[in-house]
Amino acid sequence: MKITGTKLFSILGLFAALLMATLLVSCGGSDPTATPTRTPASPTFTTPAMEPTQAMEATSTPDSANTESSMESLSGTIAIAGSSTVFPISEAMAEEFSKQNSGVRVNVASTGTGAGFRAICAGEAQVSNASRPVKQSELDTCAENDIELIEIPVAFDALSVVVSPNNDWAECLSVEDLATIFGPDSHGVVTNWNQVNPDFPDVGLRLYGPTTASGTFDYFTEAIMGEGGAHRGDMDLATEDDPLIAQGVNGTRGGIGYFGLAYLAQYSSLVNAVSVENPQTGECVQPSSEAVESGTYQPLARPIFIYVRADLLDENPEVEAFVEFYMEEATALVPEVGYVALPQEAYDWNLGRLASRTTGSVFKDVAPGTPLNTVLDRLQ
């Protein structure tokens, strides 16, 4: 009895073949000649930026003229893994890099910072995303596998707290004040400004903010409440539509809200930014890109990173080209996805560290609250 020719196997084979055929047909359908004719993104999304001139240039397609590397045809695989906070930046970079280098196969996984370091130290990823500096234990794991990392700060994650222009009392709020206003224990309890501080007038609190889906929410709760996700649930409006937060705060005298610092400039006619008291110095600091860069705007600003394997760069030019692209496009793309770009020098220093294969972490041993410009200077 010849088994291979029997009907059962031909039927099973047919079933698998049909699936494969579907696969192949769809593969054929994915002809890259089909030109996308989508409408461009809404201006409210593409323009938020610290510096208006850069906002003008922050179009969805970066200028390909300034990336010499795209002239060579690169190939290979770049696997990026790690922090969900850095994910939107790296995803945007991967998207644009892939458009110019279709031979390079880029994927970005949102696995969390720790898992990102595990992946890169196990040789599974070429680049890792990190919302905090690498730990010594993680560097040790890498070293065991003869993997060395180059640390590359890519952006600031910074938030601004805003109140109505008619609010003449809340000029500076401490971390404790913010925790009283937005903390989980205040749910249904703290409903008036005079409960936050007896000096404040008898005005009802109206709360506006992002939804739990956003990194803004995660970072705000981490920085203010000390615990990710710890937040009261009785918000007057929780939305991912930043204009609505600004308009809501604008429309109510007792309104207070928060959103990414990158969007503040856009709504400065509607809302006033609140100074936040730096817990280390006791100083009230207005949010601004300068304050973020100088490290005085704490705790609502932190640098975020990518790490790249130094040992790969010589043999894998596509990895180096990707990081170079990252640095060249960061000023345009970082604000577009809602973060604060580093000063241009920092990106240049990063390029220098990449070129000289300078491994190890500058930020690892930096105490929280250290002025970030002094840390950035060390990148030189």
Partner 1 sequence: MTSIPFRGRKASRNRQFRKATSGGFVALGIMATAFGVFAVGLLLYSVANDGIGVFDWDFLTSFPSRIPEEAGIKSALMGTLWVMGFTTLFAVPVGIGAAIYLEEFAGKNLFTKIIESNINNLAGVPSVVYGLLGLAFFVYWANLGPSIIAGSLTLALLILPIIIVAAREGLRAVPPSIREAAIALGATKWQSVRFQVLPVAMPSVLTGVILALARAIGETAPLIAIGAFTSVFFIPTSPTDAFTVIPIQVYSWITRPLPGYQEDAAAGMIVLLIVLLSMSSIAVALRHVFARRRMW
Question: Structure tokens of 222?
Answer: 């981490």
Q: Which is nearer to partner 1, 77 or 344 (CB)?
A: 77
Distance CA 38, CA 36 (A): 6
Q: Segment contacting partner 1 (CB under 8 A): 12-20, 151-159, 273-281, 318-326?
A: 12-20
Q: Is 244 in the site for partner 1 (CB under 8 A)?
A: no
Least separation, in Å, of the C-beta of 82 and partner 1?
11
Question: Structure tokens of 190?
Answer: 């703290």
Q: Is 169 in the site for partner 1 (CB under 8 A)?
A: no
Chain length of the chain? 380
* Site mask for partner 1 (CB under 8 A), range 61-90, x = bound: ----------------x-x-x-----xx--
Distance CA 339, CA 109 (A): 19
Rg (CA), the chain: 24
Q: Which is nearer to partner 1, 32 or 198 (CB)?
A: 32
Q: Segment contacting partner 1 (CB under 8 A): 91-99, 130-138, 228-236, 367-375?
A: 91-99
Distance CA 122, CA 14 (A): 40
Q: How far is CA 124 from the centre of its chain?
A: 22
Site residues for partner 1, 101-160, by CB under 8 A, read: 105-111, 115, 119, 124
Which one of 196, 334, 337, 341 is in contact with partner 1 (CB under 8 A)? 337
Question: Structure tokens of 14?
Answer: 């047919």
- Alpha carbon of 112 to those of 4, 83, 130, 173, 333: distances in Å? 48, 4, 8, 31, 22
Q: Is 41 in the site for partner 1 (CB under 8 A)?
A: yes
Cis preceding linkage at 299, omega within 30: yes
Q: Using CB under 8 A, list all residues that contact partner 1.
A: 1, 6-8, 11-12, 14-16, 18-20, 22-23, 26-27, 29-32, 34, 36-41, 45, 60, 77, 79, 81, 87-88, 91-92, 94-95, 98, 105-111, 115, 119, 124, 210-211, 213-214, 240-241, 336-337
